[in-house]
Copies of this chain bind each other. A is one copy, B any other.
Amino acid sequence: MFKRYFPILTWLPHYHRGLFSADALAGLIVTVMVIPQSLAYALLAGLPAVVGLYASILPQLLYTLMGTSRTLAVGPVAIIALMTGAALSSIAEPGSPAYIEAALVLSLLSGLILVGLGALRMGFFSNFLSHPVISGFLTASGILIAASQLGSLLGIDSSGFTLIERALTLTPNLATINPYTLAIGLGTLAFLIAMRRFGRALFGAIGLPEALGDLLTKAGPVFAVLLTTLACWYWQLAERGVAVVGAIPAGLPGLSFPLADAALWKALFIPALLISLVGFVESVSMGQMLAAKRRQRISPNQELVGLGAANLAAGVTSGMPVTGGLSRTVINFDAGAQTPAAGAFAALGIALVTLFFTGWLFYLPIATLAATITVSILTLVDIPMLRQTWRYSRSDFAAMALTIVLTLVEGVEAGIIGGVTLSLALFLYRTSRPHSALVGRVPDTEHFRNVERHDVEAPKNAALLRIDESLYFANARYLEDTVYNLVASRPEIEHVVLICSAVNLIDASALESLDAINARLKDSDVRLHLSEVKGPVMDRLKQSDFLDALTGRVFLSTYAAWREFY
């Protein structure tokens, strides 16, 4: 029980020096790498930069205690920051005390929701975010986030959480572009893109070992931060209008419990739910992928608890909603982290920075952070996926397209809710008009196939009708129509065999319809039979009066029915 909720108890007793040195190194690397992105994501959410650091300390420590992934690194991430900003900006003025307070409420709510879902073992809930919806959402969010950084890159003001809002606030200010900011922003952007594309080859060419070259390539953002901070300090660019991070209060955040008013909690519930689900899906799918690489397992329900605890921790230490982050986790994994202790070391490292080195960040230009976000976020944009999905399934494509359009035009919440709703509606619509086929025997086998697709032996006076769907209220009447039309169009039929190999459920409405079909066929001297009824469905039918009223038999196999009538 205790071990289930504190997976640290499963690995800490076996901890040894070899693991320690690997984890400590990874922790150090992660500390250096994630500071710029932590600051940047806090700004993306409309919060003071330091909040990003706060949210990388205690939340990560809690996850180390309670998470099941060995390598997941927890902290602020781009998508969640975007969703946080969108949710909060309808509540208060960005940057205001009420806004910062609302961010804490959002973290707490999200934490409570995640822990609640985990305790109730309702991790499956996130499965309703279908792959096309998530993929569409990530693409649209990537575009939104890139657009949101445009203002910072150009050194002009912009705000809003949809493309249209962005464009409307950005355009009038285009005349106020700051040349120094522009130079830093575009310069960093070019540098980062070049590092991504040519870094490895370059470091390889000058003879560095592959692992080191890899690490240096990944450290591109760190170099950019160092160089532009130095430049900004040396030339005092802040005085020429370049926005910098500025003074960050030194010291760790105090504990606070934002209990606020019930109306605020209520207003933030839906955003918190969506943030929780999206964060969970992003985190757990990455965790599963990396666990699979090392033949480890993660437990989705315990992940909910671990991420929930991390968000609760963020909520009481002046943080913001967090989850397992793609880039920070990949850095951690590649740096050789072996256990969650690596995450704890990184948290300690960031705590030290927050205590003693925030002064060093004073001259860090916002434009550098914007370039960092832009480059990393554009990997989310997956346009080929649109084509692939279109090719495979029109309804999946429709859900994906709606998610993208709504996210861009109406915002992140509308995008997710619209996409999920459409996915569910299309699934329900599909099951409400099930495919069915008249089948016959493939000669010399006991196998049955559609009479229209295959050359098969079908009985004359009996129709073997395979229903390709569970029978439930949405398709019960459709089943009636199908059978009545079949009998009406072929007067020679004396027996109808419903093949139930694909029927996984018969609910009360469908049972009613089967009763009606049975009675109506009886009036026309046609007998109704069933075949291949599955165990659980048969158990259920035996609870009703249907089998007594059934004019025909229940055949174990379709072959038995076929032998009877052919």
Interface residues of A: mostly helix, strand, loop or mixed? helix
Q: Is A329 an interface residue (CB 8 A)?
A: no
Is B509 in contact with A446, judged by CB distance below 8 angstroms? no
On whether the beta carbons of A474 and B128 are closer than 8 Å, the reply is yes
A445-B559, A543-B392, A557-B447 known; A453-B131 Cβ under 8 A: no
Query: Which of A31-39, A309-317, A498-506 binds B?
Result: A498-506
CB atoms of A468 and B132 under 8 A apart: no
Contacts of A504 in B (CB 8 A): 434-435, 468-469, 502
Smallest distance from the beta carbon of A237 to chain B beta carbons, Å? Answer: 47
| Inter-subunit contact B475/A127 (CB<8 Å) | yes
Choice from B445, B508, B520 contacting A392 with Cβ under 8 Å:
B508
In the bound assembly, the distance between CA atoms of A131 and B515 in angstroms comes to 13
Nearest residue, chain B, Cβ from A289: B516
CB within 8 Å for A396 and B507 given contacts A128-B473, A432-B127, A473-B128: yes
**CB contact under 8 A between A520 and B292, given known A474-B128, A478-B127:** yes
Q: Please tell me which one of the listed residues B446, B473, B503 contacts residue A423 in the complex, with CB atoms under 8 A apart.
A: B473
The answer to whether B393 touches A540 (Cβ under 8 A) is yes
Neighbouring B residues of A124 by C-beta, 8 Å = 432-433, 474, 477-478
Mark contacts of A502-535 with chain B using CB atoms, 8 A cut-off: 1 yes-contact digit, 0 otherwise: 1111011101100000001000000000000011
Mark each residue of chain A from 285 to 310: 1 if its CB lies under 8 Å from any CB of chain B, else 0.
Answer: 00000001000000000000000000
Cα A474 to Cα B508 in complex, Å, equals 23
Q: How far is the CB of A155 from chain B (nearest CB, A)?
A: 42
Q: A392-B543, A446-B446, A502-B504 are in contact. Are A512 and B430 (CB under 8 A)?
A: no
B468 in contact with A393 (CB, 8 Å): no
Say yes or no: B559 contacts A446, CB within 8 Å.
yes
Of A133, A446, A509, A512, chain B has the most CB atoms within 10 Å of the CB of A509
**Is the beta-carbon distance between B507 and A431 smaller than 8 angstroms?**
no
Q: Name A520's closest neighbour in chain B (CB-CB).
A: B292
Q: Please determine whether A536 and B501 come into contact, CB atoms closer than 8 angstroms.
A: no
Would A447 and B559 be within 8 Å (CB), given that A435-B536, A475-B127, A507-B395 are in contact? yes
Contacts of A453 in B (CB 8 A): 535
> CB within 8 Å of B: which of A401-435?
423-424, 427-428, 430-435
- A446 partner residues in chain B, CB cutoff 8 A: 445-447, 559
Copy number of this protein in the oligomer? 2
CB of A440 to closest CB in B, whole Å: 14
Neighbour of A535 across the interface among B132, B389, B423, B450, CB < 8 A: B450
Q: Mark A447-468, 1 if CB is under 8 A from B, else 0.
A: 1001001000000000000001
Q: Is the CB of A391 within 8 A of B543?
A: yes
Identify A131's interface contact among B396, B501, B509, CB under 8 A: B509
Contact A131 B473 (CB under 8 A): yes
A130 beta carbon closer than 8 Å to chain B: yes
Chain B residue contacts of A236, Cβ below 8 A? none
Whole-angstrom CA separation of A493 from B473 in the bound complex: 40
Docked pose: A62 CA to B446 CA in angstroms? 55
Q: Does A544 contact B (CB under 8 A)?
A: yes
Q: In chain B, what residue has the closest Cβ to A396?
A: B508
Interface 1/0 per residue, A470-492 and B, CB below 8 Å: 10111111100000000000000
Chain B: which residue is nearest A501 at the CB level? B501
A556 within 8 A of B: yes
From residue 307 to 354 of chain A, which have CB atoms closer than 8 A to chain B?
A: none
**A499 → B minimal CB distance (Å):** 10
Q: How far is the CA of A396 from the CA of B511 in the complex (A)?
A: 11
Question: Which residues of the partner chain B approach A507 to less than 8 Å between Cβ atoms?
Answer: 130, 393, 395-396, 427
Residues of chain A having any CB pair with chain B under 8 Å: 124, 127-133, 292, 389, 391-393, 395-396, 423-424, 427-428, 430-435, 437, 442, 445-447, 450, 453, 468-470, 472-478, 501-505, 507-509, 511-512, 520, 534-536, 540, 543-544, 556-557, 559
Known interface pairs A128-B474, A131-B508; 4 further A-B residue pairs with C-beta atoms within 8 A, sorted by A's residue number: A128-B473, A391-B543, A392-B540, A396-B509
